[in-house]
Amino acid sequence: MSDAKTYPPSDDMIANAHVNADAYEKMYQASLDDPDGFWAEQGKRVDWIKPFTQVKDVDFTLGNVKINWYADGQLNVSANCTDRHLETRGDQTAIIWEPDNPDDDTKHITYTQLHAETCKMANVLRSLGVGKGDRVVIYLPMIPEAAYAMLACARIGAIHSIVFAGFSPDALGARVNGCNAKVVITSDGAPRGGRVTNLKDNVNQALLNDFDEVKCLVVKHTDQQVAWRGDLDFWLHEELDKVSDDCPPETMDAEDPLFILYTSGSTGQPKGVVHTTGGYLVYAAMTHEITFDYHDGDIYWCTADVGWVTGHSYIVYGPLANGATTLMFEGVPTYPDASRFWQVCEKHKVTQFYTAPTAIRALMGQGKDFVTKCDLSSIKVLGTVGEPINPEAWNWYNEVVGGGTCPIVDTWWQTETGGHLMTPLPGAHAMKPGSAMKPFFGIQPVILEPTTAEVITENPAEGVLCIADSWPGQMRTVWGDHERFEKTYFADYPGYYFTGDGAKRDADADYWITGRVDDVINVSGHRMGTAEVESALVAHPKVAESAVVGYPHEIKGQGIYSYVTLMGGEEPSEELRKELEAWVRAEIGPIAKPDLIQWAPGLPKTRSGKIMRRILRKIAENDYGALGDTSTLADPSVVDDLIKNRMNR
């Protein structure tokens, strides 16, 4: 890998970038030598109501894990994303909104307008009884109101929990319940790729039985008919008419929670990742500026949805804290056709474009004419996120989209990390296709031998990836369950934050992420716990047992392969297969729909009854040679049957 072809930045990029190779080395060293000094300096990126005097206060010891940054400082995130820009850039566009349908009107929202809309929405939330520390669930399409809602919560000190609009009513209900939300903000409908989902219906279903305290604030967006829950529901536009646009920001402690975001793990139900105010904002702002080499006047576009952490940090908080122009796209890459991304880039003269490998692979399959007919000369930096990018997709992105002249930042990070932990920087590193390259400032990656937990110091190295010390954007706890937080991230490799990923470090000390080492799969850049899909399947009355694993999928990266054992007396059929697919869609959402369902009369288990997933993974991957030792199985013949009836793809 160390002799892979490298792609150095152009002289122009080196000369103009915020950080060149020399600066990277110096700053990185400084961030390790004196974390307090380094982060105190970076803390000045944001405006503090009361300046901090403490910087880092961290303990990774199991049973005593605490993570505090800038703890005695006070600030308000929405003031940092709006008020502080009014004087210098009030008339500058903060958000460009591009609708699902290209024939509908684009919106340009200035910082002055963003400020006013945020204040009004904040006053509406207050009028509904929301105060500091209360939780608000946001279940919206990609419309400007989603950003207003986030900033409005931050303004009054409410904690938002965004639920991706593609999630089902059940998943929504679980998240409303999980954080005891007072209000759900939604819209009548959500258009995507020309099809409209009735979001308000989903909310009604989610809240039907147990939630007669939860109010719902509804954005009128698609104008379709919606069913009303009596006096618990409110139209946003009617409420906005009743409030003023003056709303002084609440003074928040740096360690007050800013948001909760549910994400999947290897066991149990999704957990509520908690991010706090000061450190998160500093880290989101800094990484946004440096990773994408953002400069004043640039038009920055991240294609993610605000339902994922990428949307939080790199559509809303990072860019807006920096006074950037950030593009928000409601649609999908292939509607009306596979040229849409590139048309939007041309139309708005996008300078930084940030998307997921799965989108690149899907578009690559459509041929390059969709790209080359558009003028992409405005693009300076390309980025990817969510999963490892295969060299073929990297090369296509580089040549066809970037014209061979744009650095590609392959950003490795997680919901838990708040911002990028490893990435090449546009003006500092010679990129290698598929490598996340180097740690960001303050990040100390370590590769451990998985079974002995010994740190491997030489290069090359391969093992599990941990981080040796904290950074300001790190998650602080699992909502309502600090013990689960400690167990998940600090128990397996004591003294380290365990990422759940495997990694290699090559002879040049560049990092390559090899994928999850736990029972988490990555489907189109979306994280999915196999346990979640399994529990959805076994909740079906005809299913006795199920085991779910990932398998390589050309477009999605990984697909969902499920083995299903039916209840006695039930017969497998095509109809039942369809029924189970629809069932999982309804239980979790379309992204969790199994790609393949194999009827399994039995599952390979140890004598103590533990399902041997290692074997199931190998069968799904079509890799029988590597089945390993099956002698500990209670009934080894099960494996032969599974191999014989393996699903062809």
Alpha-carbon torsion angle 583, 588, 594, 600, nearest 10 = -60
Total Cβ atoms within 10 A of residue 491: 12
Kindly give, in sequence order, each residue whose CB lies less than 8 Å from that of residue 379, ignoring residues fewer than 6 positions away: 345, 350, 351, 352, 353, 401, 402, 406
- Pairing, β 183-187 against β 215-219: parallel
415 binds ligand WT7 (CB under 6 A): yes
Give the nearer residue to ligand WT7 in terms of CB position, either 415 or 565.
415
Residue 278 binds to ligand WT7 (criterion: CB under 6 A): no
Candidate residues 83, 233, 410, 587; the one interacting with ligand WT7 per rule CB under 6 A: 410
Q: Which is nearer to ligand WT7, 214 or 531 (CB)?
A: 531
Task: Confirm if 97 and 107 have CB atoms less than 8 A apart.
Answer: yes
How many angstroms separate the CA atoms of 208 and 155, rounded? Answer: 30
Flag whether 415 is marked binding.
Answer: yes
- Tell whether residue 193 is among the known ligand binding residues: yes
Taking the complex as a whole, how short is the minimal distance between the CB of residue 512 and ligand WT7, in angstroms?
A: 9
Cβ closest to ligand WT7, residue 393 vs residue 642: 393
Q: Is 473 in the site for ligand WT7 (CB under 6 A)?
A: no
Residue 15 beta carbon to ligand WT7: minimum distance, rounded to whole angstroms: 27
Which CB, 100 or 416, lies closer to ligand WT7?
Answer: 416
Which H or E run includes 260? strand 257-263
Closest CA to 414 of 486, 499, 498, 356: 499
Q: Which is nearer to ligand WT7, 327 or 528 (CB)?
A: 528
User: In the complex with ligand WT7, which residue's Cβ is closer, 42 or 415?
Assistant: 415
Size of the site for ligand WT7 (CB under 6 A): 22
Give the contact letters, 504-543, x = binds to ligand WT7 (CB under 6 A), - = no: ---------x-xx-----x----x----------------
Q: Is 298 annotated as a binding residue?
A: no
Closest distance of CB 47 from ligand WT7, Å: 27
User: Using the rule CB under 6 A, is 291 a contact of ligand WT7?
Assistant: no
Name which position in 74, 78, 310, 565 contacts ligand WT7 (CB under 6 A): 310
> Strand, helix or coil at 469?
coil
With H, G, I as helix, E, B as strand and everything else as coil, classify residue 578: helix
Is 476 annotated among the ligand-binding residues?
no
Residue 562 assigned as binding residue: no
How far apart, in whole angstroms, are the C-alpha atoms of residue 354 and residue 360?
11
Ligand-binding annotation for 525, yes or no, is no
Nearer CB in complex with ligand WT7: 211/354 = 354
Which run of H or of E encompasses 565?
strand 557-566
d(CA 105, CA 255): 40
Of 252-271, binders to ligand WT7 (CB under 6 A) are 263
* 484 marked among binding-site residues: no
632 vs 619: CA distance, rounded Å = 17
In terms of Cα–Cα distance, which of 95, 637, 606, 521 is closest to 319? 95
Does position 386 interact with ligand WT7 (CB under 6 A)? The reply is: yes
Q: Which residue(s) pair with 263 in the sheet? A: 271
The rounded distance, in Å, linking the Cα atoms of 43 and 166 is 36
CA torsion sign, 80 to 83 to 89 to 94?
A: positive
Residue 340 assigned as binding residue:
no
Q: Is residue 63 part of an annotated ligand binding site?
A: no
Residue 501 as a binder of ligand WT7 (CB under 6 A): the answer is yes
Region near ligand WT7 per CB under 6 A, out of 43-51, 222-230, 243-251, 404-412 = 404-412
Q: Nearer Cβ to ligand WT7, position 38 or 412?
A: 412
What does the alpha-carbon distance between residue 293 and residue 423 come to, in Å, rounded to a whole number?
A: 12
523 is in an annotated binding site: no
Asked whether residue 267 is marked as a ligand-binding residue, the answer is no
Q: Does 385 bind ligand WT7 (CB under 6 A)?
A: yes
Q: State the DSSP string of 329-374.
A: E-S-TTSSSTTHHHHHHHHHT-SEEEE-HHHHHHHHTT-THHHHTS
Alpha helices in 397-528 (DSSP H): 482-490
Residue 258: CB minimum distance to ligand WT7, A: 17
How would you class 541 by CB atoms within 10 Å of its CB: exposed for 0-12, middle for 13-18, buried for 19 or more? Answer: exposed
Least Å distance, CB 308 to ligand WT7, is: 6
Residues contributing to the annotated binding site for Mg(2+): 538, 540, 543
Residues contributing to the annotated binding site: 192-195, 310, 386-388, 410-415, 501, 516, 524, 527, 538, 540, 543, 585
Residues contributing to the annotated binding site for CoA: 192-195, 310, 524, 585
Residues contributing to the annotated binding site for ATP: 386-388, 410-415, 501, 516, 527
> What residues make contact with ligand WT7 under the rule CB under 6 A?
263, 309-310, 385-388, 410-415, 436, 499-501, 513, 515-516, 522, 527
